[in-house]
Structure 1
């Protein structure tokens, strides 16, 4: 399961587009920060797999988010593509091409202020190393989907943590968090968790079952927030993309 970083991002289509249309610099900046928390690392992973070194990949990714607002691209995003995942990747691909055509005219963000984020780039570098251990490695698009899937899981897990903490069950959640993934190597046994929480094994199993159900709903909510017109079918489609991304296969981008 992915680790904790930042807060639950608010990147709903309506919120992002509304922020992009406003003249309020602070509101626009908040929208940009929200997108960065969710998509900086997947886009950085894509740039790295394209062959850019760490510094150039950071430059390209950093400059891209400022470019989004400068060019007012988000105001038409919901009309162009149906998911943030596909819109941002396609736009990033065009941005990289433009930057290369201008011979790094936007290098180091073109003098723009960098967005300060607490990012663990080692997570992406580890994905690159593990991916490169295969016969040929995956495509940049597949690696982007893999990093995106991890970002979605992280956001859903953070949100569930916040919900449980607000309900006074923060310590319980922290002890049982590893049990949410039945395949996790560090999952605590029901007996060990029960001893720590002074609960019976059966009560622990029921609590874990409840948390897994809530986690699935948090993940669906998180996915819905990235869709223009979310419905069950479209959410299921993106969840399929997420599962494929975790397996490292990626998914076709056509049609969002």
Structure 2
């Protein structure tokens, strides 16, 4: 079973995504499920662990949540974008399903029981433990932070593919850790970084760094706009970027 690709096509808005979740076209629904999973399954697992659930129960609850979406088009029937951000809507539905204990009434589905969603819960637990000391009293903020980081990983995946396609993987490998950091914090000089990136001059290095930062910002904004309806996306971009680092 292959892992969920970070390069699936994305809907233009959250309402488009929700529309696909409601679709009677199985192919459209399957793609929507993959996109929701890609963005939300790791943050949902992190949230479950922080609310006191153990590893197996957290894994089961996430699998059951997506199983519910796969088999029920009604889960998002009331979402019209006016209730707030899609991630808020997602966590609200997830919390309701946790509190209803539906996952305990289901056949155990941990370990790849949903064919459409090959979720790696070893990875999920590793990431949870890496950041377990953060937001210890605020699972909701931890969910937002995990969501922001997941979006950022999608940005980096897109950039990596783009630079690879252009035969500039060496440039990407050196520059992508610098996108959100100050050059003054680096142990290597700008000239040394330029040499590592295979760039002929310091000016080329500065141009390429500016370009990759601009590309990353554009892609992050694009992804965020797909999760917020109306004009709130700019504030959402600022909020989520603060949580990425």
Same fold (TM over 0.5): yes
In the alignment, is the contact (CA less than 8 A) between 2:60 and 2:108 conserved in 1? yes
Match of 1:117 in 2: 119
Change (3 A) 1:103 1:191: closer
Alignment of 1:83-232 (within 5 A): 83-99=85-101, 104-106=104-106, 108-109=108-109, 113=114, 115-118=117-120, 120-121=123-124, 122-128=126-132, 130-131=133-134, 137-183=136-182, 189-196=189-196, 197-229=198-230, 231=231
In the alignment, is the contact (CA less than 8 A) between 1:181 and 1:187 conserved in 2? no
TM-score computed with the length of structure 1 as normaliser = 0.79
Change (3 A) 1:189 1:39: farther
Shift of 1:157: 1.7
Distance 2:107 2:129 in 1: 21
1:71 paired to 2:72: yes
Match of 1:53 in 2: 54
In the alignment, is the contact (CA less than 8 A) between 1:59 and 1:107 conserved in 2? no
Q: Deviations over 1:78-98 (max 9, x none)?
A: 356332211101111101011
In the alignment, is the contact (CA less than 8 A) between 1:50 and 1:140 conserved in 2? yes
Q: Deviations over 1:125-148 (max 9, x none)?
A: 2111x228xxxx231101111111
Distance 1:207 1:187 in 2: 19
User: Which shows bigger deviation, 192-201 or 215-224?
Assistant: 192-201
Change (3 A) 1:223 1:123: same
Q: How many residues align?
A: 233
Shift of 1:188: 5.1
Unaligned runs of 5+ in 1: 248-256
In the alignment, is the contact (CA less than 8 A) between 1:60 and 1:96 conserved in 2? yes
Match of 1:241 in 2: 239
Change (3 A) 1:212 1:74: same
Distance 1:117 1:79 in 2: 28
Change (3 A) 1:24 1:186: farther
Distance 2:120 2:52 in 1: 24
* Alpha-carbon RMSD: 2.8
In the alignment, is the contact (CA less than 8 A) between 1:190 and 1:201 conserved in 2? yes
